[in-house]
Amino acid sequence: MKTKKLLVSGIIGGIASFLLGWLLYGMLFKDYFPGPSEESTESLVLIFLGSLTFGLLISYIFVHWAQISTAATGAKAGAILGLLLGLYFNFFNMAMNTEATFQLFALDVGLSIILTAIVGAIVGIVNSKME
């Protein structure tokens, strides 16, 4: 049962991550975070696979380690994971990218918290429906 819950909530979380990423990074903040230089099907497939992997990561943590199965707990845990993952990625980005700024650092960390909190809530809801 845990494998089914992991896969279903992970896939739904991944789809949510993809759509939220499109909304936040592709629409609302596209001036700050330009997309791939060439919008191709391959780029979208790779972005979708990255989102799916992210959904499965959140689902794995929630199902196997934390037993999270509510929207509120999922959102709280997701926000913490979003903060830590956002900091992790952006510290390395600041070190490697000469065009990175502290304003983009803070914006991306904030967006990571929001996106992961919502994905966490969705994964928590799906987990509760599958119990």
- 60 burial (CB, 10 Å; 0-12 / 13-18 / 19+) is middle
Are 120 and 77 spatial neighbours (Cβ–Cβ below 8 Å)? yes
Other C-beta atoms closer than 10 Å to the C-beta of 87 total: 15
User: How many domains is the chain partitioned into structurally?
Assistant: 1
What's the per-residue H, E or C state across 47-70? HHHHHHHHHHHHHHHHHHHHCCCC
Q: What is the pLDDT of residues 102-116, one digit of tens each?
A: 999 999 999 999 999
Q: What percent of the chain has pLDDT over 90?
A: 85
Domain hosting residue 84, numbered range: 2-129
Q: What is the pLDDT of residues 62-103, one digit of tens each?
A: 999 999 999 999 999 999 999 999 999 999 999 999 988 999
